[in-house]
Every structure is written in C-alpha cells, then in structure tokens.
C-alpha cells in the first residue's frame, strides 16, 4: 500500500508532470541530432538542476533519457545516421524503409511498440529489480568476455551477403578500439608517438564518420535523384500491424531488460542482440532483413527501450550504473546526498517507486509527443539531397567536435567517413566495424581479467568456461550461434522441416 | 542491406541497389591487399607491445590483426581467382571517385582545414554555398546564399546558445 502511495507521488505534482513532458520533448530532439547524445544532455542537465529539489531533477532526467533514446531512431530511419548508439541497429532496416517512402509508417510503428516495450521494462523493473540485480552481480569477467564474443558474432548477421567481409570489418573495429593508452597497464598501443592517439579513438567519432559522412558520400554517387516522398497519411499504425509485431516486441523488450541490467552493456548491445534474434527467428518477413523488414526496426527499438528500465536495476539495487546515463543519474543522487545501492531501497523506498512511476509517465508522454514531433522530422527527408547532404556533413562535424572540443576528432571522423565510403563500395558493412569498436574494450579488459583470475593458465581459463553455470550457458549459446550460421546446420534444419 | 549497395555507372542501374555476386568490383583486389597490409602491420606493431603473459596488452591486438590478415588474404585470393583481367587505373579512379564525390571530399577537407582559421560561422557558410551551388550546377545563387546563412544561423543558435556546445 505504501509502495502505491510512493508510486503515485509524480501524479499528484503538476510540476513533476510538466518537467517530465519537457524532458521527453527535448530528449527526442537531442537524441535525433547526431553527436548530441542523451549522456551529454543528461550531464548538462545536472549543472542546470544542481539547486533544484531531487524530485524535479529526476523528473526531467527520466524524461530526457526516455525521449532521447527514441529520438536516436528518427535520424537512423530518415538519414541512416543514428542519433544515439542504441539506434545503430534501427538504421539497418529503418533507412531502407525510408528509401521506400515508408519512414512515417516505420517510425509510427516503432514508436507505439517502443512505448509497449518500455512499459514492459518498467513493470519488470518494479517487480524483479532486487532479484535481477543480485543475479547480474554474479557475472564474472569471463562471462562479460563471453558476452562480448557473443556480440561480435553478430557480425555474421550484419555483414550482409558475405560473412568474411563482416568478420574483417568487426576485427578492424576491435583493432581501432585498441588504439591509445591501455587502461590497466598504461602501455601505449598503436599510438606511434602521436599525442592525439594516446586517449584512443572515441567510438562516437568513428560512428559519425562511418555512418554519417560515408552515407553522404554514397549519396553523391547519385546526387540528382529526386528525394523520396514520405507517406505521412498513416503515422499511427493500425491495430492489426501492432498486434502482429507485439510478440516480437515483447521478446526483444525482455532481451533489453536482461542486457540493460548487466553493468557496462547498454541499449546499443541490447538492440544489436535483439536485431540478430529477430533475424534468426523470423521465418518469412514481408520484406527481407536489410532491405526494410519491419521486424528489423521493431526488435532493436523494443530492446533499447527495455534496456532503459534494465539499466536502472543494478543502479538502484547495487549502486552500479547499467549505462552511461544511469552513471550520471547516480552522480545526481550523490549531489543530493543519497547513496545508490542496496540500502537505497531500504532507506528511501519512495525514490525507487518514484523513478518507476516517472519512467512509466515518460513513456505515456513519448506516445503523444513522439507523434507530434514526427511530421517536422519526416519532412527533413523531402529536402533535396543537394541541400540535405552538405548540411548532414556540417552536422557530423559539429556533433564530432562537441564530444571533446577537439578538431583532431573532426579529422579522424572525416578519415573514418572516407574509409567507410570505400568499405561500402566494396560490400563491407560499416555496422560490424562500429560494433567492434564498441565491444573491443569490453572484450579486451574482461579477457585479461579472466586470464588473470585463471593464474595465466589457458587450461584453467577454458575449464572455468565449462565448470561455472553462467559461463557454460553463455558458451553453449555462442556455440549455437556459430553452428547456426553454418550451411550444414541450415540444410539439416531444412531436411527436418521437410520431414 | 544498404551497406552493401553498389550503384553501377550503368544508366538503368543508377541509384538502384545492385550487388554483383561472383564478380569483383574494379580495384577490389587493391582494397583486399590494403586490408591485408593493415592486418600485417597491426600484427607487426603488436609484437613490440609487452607479451610476457596470456593477459598482456598485446594478446587481443595480435589475435584481431591476424583475423584481419587471414580474412583479407582470403578475399584477395577470391578476387585473384575471379578476375583475370586487371581493371585499368583510370577505370578504378572513375569507379572510386565520381566527379561529385571527389568535389565534395575536396570541399570537405578545405572546410575542415579552414575551421581553425576562419571559425565555424564563416567556414560553414562558405562550405554550404560552395557545395550546394556545385551540386545544383550553379543554379539559384541567391536562394543558396539564403539557405546557407539560415542553416548556419540555426546551428549556431541551437548548439551554441541552447545546448551550450562550443563550436569549432
């Protein structure tokens, strides 16, 4: 009963409701602008909300977090430039849909199912936070290493027709992520004495170059094509379509909550895993994956919305941030004299229920504000490419510079853009390279920690993989992923179906 | 998948999604060779990193550079087998750099290099005017100037004054 009272606090405060709505709306716009991340917006908000009371500050932050996560999908679908890392997978099928003139439909569908998936995530957060939080704590470094390997195996799904090219791009990405000073030993790797390389290459720099600039350059191969007219008559999807994708959205949302609850893995990894899962389990998509399958938009968007609630689980129960935004929210709680962790739920249970409530309210606002702000965004794509693409290049430069205020990042970004252009010309997908850059540090640090705990003994390391239940389960999943990509498995599966 | 688009310079295929299986694109061999070299160099430089234990900083760089090397070698071998006739340098350049692409890359590089000297506002207006005018074959100069100025002004207001982002 008391929990319900705490849950209803935001509903009784007009101030909190208005701030949540403002947060969602500004989050959508911030998330949609490449280079302006939700993390950045939330960290800026901390400086604004320093003197506010905690309830108001949390209302604004939760709104921005939810809105920003959705905003990233808008530019991913319209321009193939993910506004935020969790939207990387959304662009794989979202952009081909925009090329068909179905951007409005795609965004409308992903908006309604995102809200559904988000609310599922919030429900799980409310029910299972302590249980899931404790389970995530049991993950050892070798499990995170295996999780990174599992993520990298997705390059098979993302690499298009040629898995070898996908693997090459993924490995190149990991190699790029190794540039800079090793965080545990301080040793310099691939810096060649260059001071700018010592800090490493920030993955957003590479992401903007590989997705944004390379896309613009590809567009210039056929600049004078007229822009695709977007169908804006039916933004709100019909119930039949929503019902069709509801089970997939539910599955993806659960994946999102699960991955989001693991510290260090956020909505980006969740979205990629859900995309892969959708690709494997959807038997007869209306449009093939990679060419505009609605399943390819629904799955990653549902997963990254689920991951939002998931990221709050370790934050609220263990004091460990699930992703970069929750890390900033932890900072905000510290500023207000609170210490996130197991004691937070015992000492200030109202805070937990208020966050649950604020996230739920944010999703309801997202449904309405998302639809309202959709038309102006969808109009963007109807601007002639000869005007749009130079503006995209300028946006990419501003976005890259904004990360660290460094012109060197801009030069790196242009380099990645030109390299990405060559990659695309020769059929190398740029997605696996970005995935490699994101997962590289996770792979490297956890492999080394796992090997250290195995006393530098390779046999013990492999023994650990099969003697610990969580490691064994992930190892089996990895083996399945590898086997399911072989011709032998597919022909066997086909034979069984025929029988 | 859009990442695998290969638009051909054949009029009827212009802008369409065309993927030629079983055939290498012009200079694909060179791309494979470039990646192969990248993998080899990656391994070579990883050798100079500390490597005393199985958890040394050089382990993952070595493994990944070897993966790049072997995958690129395979791609190079496939291209060697498939393409007996080597495409001429001219054909390669035409394929890699159509007129519009090369012009935008040059403008982009000039823009990036000019940023520290003439700063964001002026550099952006000039870049936008030059690129839009080029892509529209010099049509509607007045309209282009207005668009470029409006876009720059909007970016400055949104980023500098609303989001408090420092511009180059």
Q: Is residue A36 less than 8 Å (CB to CB) from chain B?
A: yes
Quote the CA–CA distance of A49 and A116 in Å, as a whole number: 30
Establish if A100 touches chain B: CB-CB under 8 angstroms.
no
- Show the tokens assigned to B57: 């900083």
Q: What is the pLDDT of residue A382?
A: 63
Tokens of A63: 């709104």
* pLDDT of res. A79: 76
**pLDDT value for A378:** 64
Distances (CA, A) of A374 to A36, A85, A158, A352, B39: 19, 20, 28, 32, 44
Strand partners, A189: A180
Measured between CB atoms, which of B50, B104, B105 is closest to A187? B50
Q: At residue A297, does pLDDT exceed 80? A: yes
User: CB of A461 within 8 Å of any CB in chain B?
Assistant: yes
Nearest beta carbon to residue A175 from set B7, B64, B71 = B64
What count of residues does chain A have?
A: 499
What are the backbone angles phi and psi of residue A337, rounded to the nearest 5°?
80, 20
Residue A201 has pLDDT above 80, yes or no: yes
Q: Give the Å distances, CA to CA, from A421 to A75, A216, B3, B31, B57.
A: 19, 9, 10, 12, 31
Q: Are residues B167 and A401, on separate chains, in Cβ contact within 8 Å?
A: yes
Q: Mean pLDDT, chain A, as a whole number? A: 81
User: Are the Cβ atoms of A425 and B6 closer than 8 angstroms?
Assistant: yes
Q: Is the pLDDT of residue B20 over 60?
A: no
pLDDT digits (tens, 9 = 90+) for A62-89: 888 888 888 888 878 887 777 677 788 8
To test the contact with chain B by mutation, choose from A391, A404, A428, A460 the residue with the greatest count of B C-beta atoms within 10 A, namely A391
pLDDT for res B131: 94
Longest CA pairwise span in chain A (Å): 69
Other CB atoms within 10 A of residue A92 CB: 30
CB of A223 within 8 A of CB of A385? yes
The total number of residues written for chain B in this structure: 168
Residue B118 touches partner A, C-beta closer than 8 Å: no
pLDDT at B5 over 50: no
Could you tell me if A244 lies within 8 Å of chain B, comparing CB atoms? no
pLDDT band at B61 (very low <50, low <70, confident <90, very high): very high
User: DSSP class of residue A197?
Assistant: G
pLDDT band at B4; cut points 50, 70, 90: very low
Q: A99: which 2 tokens? A: 């090329």
Helix runs in A100-140, H state only: 103-137
For A138, the 3-state DSSP assignment is coil
The reported pLDDT for the residue numbered B86 is 64
Q: What would the pLDDT profile of A78-125 be if each residue is shown by its tens digit?
A: 877 776 777 888 888 888 888 887 878 888 888 888 899 989 989 988
Bigger pLDDT: A334 or A449? A449
Of the two residues A167 and A138, the one the predictor is more confident about is A167
ipTM over cut 0.90? no
d(C-alpha A188, C-alpha A122), whole Å: 43
């Amino acid at each position: 009963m008391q929990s319900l009272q705490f849950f209803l606090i935001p509903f009784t405060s007009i101030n909190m409701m208005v701030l949540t709505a403002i947060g969602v709306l500004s989050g959508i716009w911030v998330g949609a602008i490449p280079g302006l991340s939700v993390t950045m917006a939330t960290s800026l908000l901390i400086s604004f909300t320093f003197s506010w009371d905690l309830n108001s500050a949390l209302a604004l932050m939760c709104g921005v977090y939810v809105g920003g996560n959705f905003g990233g999908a808008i530019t991913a679908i319209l321009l193939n430039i993910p506004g935020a890392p969790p939207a990387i997978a959304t662009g794989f099928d979202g952009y081909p849909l925009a090329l068909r003139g179905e951007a409005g439909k795609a965004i409308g569908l992903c908006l309604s199912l995102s809200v559904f998936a988000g609310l599922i995530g919030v429900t799980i957060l409310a029910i299972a936070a302590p249980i899931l939080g404790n389970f995530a704590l049991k993950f050892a470094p070798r499990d995170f290493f295996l999780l990174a390997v599992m993520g990298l195996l997705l390059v098979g799904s993302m690499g298009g027709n040629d898995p070898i090219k996908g693997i090459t791009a993924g490995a190149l990405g990991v190699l790029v992520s190794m540039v800079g000073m090793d965080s545990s030993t301080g040793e310099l790797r691939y810096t060649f004495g260059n001071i700018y390389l010592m800090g490493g290459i920030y993955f957003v720099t590479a992401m903007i170059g590989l997705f944004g600039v390379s896309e613009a350059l590809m567009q210039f191969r056929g600049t004078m094509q007229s822009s695709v007219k977007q169908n804006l008559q039916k933004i709100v999807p019909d119930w039949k379509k929503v019902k069709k994708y509801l089970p997939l959205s539910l599955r993806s949302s659960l994946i999102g909550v699960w991955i989001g609850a693991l510290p260090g893995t956020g909505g980006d990894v969740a979205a990629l895993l859900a995309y892969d899962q959708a690709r494997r389990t959807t038997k007869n998509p209306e449009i093939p994956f990679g060419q505009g399958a609605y399943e390819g938009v629904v799955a990653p968007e549902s997963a990254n919305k689920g991951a939002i609630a998931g990221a709050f689980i370790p934050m609220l129960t263990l004091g460990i941030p699930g992703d970069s935004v929750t890390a900033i929210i932890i900072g905000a709680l510290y500023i207000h004299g609170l210490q996130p962790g197991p004691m937070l739920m015992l000492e200030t249970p109202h805070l937990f229920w208020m966050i649950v409530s604020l996230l739920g309210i944010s999703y309801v606002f997202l449904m309405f504000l998302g639809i309202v702000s959709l038309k102006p965004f969808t109009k963007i794509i109807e601007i002639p490419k000869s005007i749009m693409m130079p503006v995209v290049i300028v946006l990419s430069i501003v976005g890259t510079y904004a990360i660290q205020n460094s012109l060197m990042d801009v030069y790196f970004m242009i380099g990645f853009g030109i390299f990405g252009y060559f990659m695309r010309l020769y059929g190398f997908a740029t997605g696996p390279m970005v995935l490699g850059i994101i997962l590289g540090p996770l792979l490297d640090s956890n492999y080394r920690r796992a090997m250290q705990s195995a006393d530098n003994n390779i046999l013990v390391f492999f023994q650990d993989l099969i003697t610990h239940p969580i490691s064994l389960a992930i190892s089996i999943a990895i083996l399945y992923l590898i086997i399911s990509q072989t011709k032998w498995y597919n022909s066997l599966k086909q034979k069984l179906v025929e029988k | 998948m859009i990442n695998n688009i290969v638009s051909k310079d054949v009029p009827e295929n212009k802008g369409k999604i065309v993927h030629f299986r079983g055939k290498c694109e012009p200079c694909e061999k060179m791309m494979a060779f470039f990646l192969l070299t990248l993998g080899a160099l990656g391994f070579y430089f990883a050798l100079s990193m500390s490597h005393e234990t199985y958890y040394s900083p050089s382990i993952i760089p070595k493994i990944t550079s070897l993966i790049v090397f072997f995958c690129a070698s395979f791609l190079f071998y496939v291209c060697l087998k498939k393409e007996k006739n080597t495409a001429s340098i001219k054909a390669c350049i035409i394929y890699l750099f159509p007129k519009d692409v090369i012009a935008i890359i040059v403008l982009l590089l000039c823009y990036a290099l000019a940023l520290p000297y003439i700063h964001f506002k002026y550099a952006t207006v000039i870049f936008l005017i030059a690129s839009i005018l080029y892509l529209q074959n010099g049509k509607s100069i007045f309209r282009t100037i207005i668009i470029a100025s409006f876009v720059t002004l909007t970016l400055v207001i949104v980023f500098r004054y609303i989001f408090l982002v420092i511009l180059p």
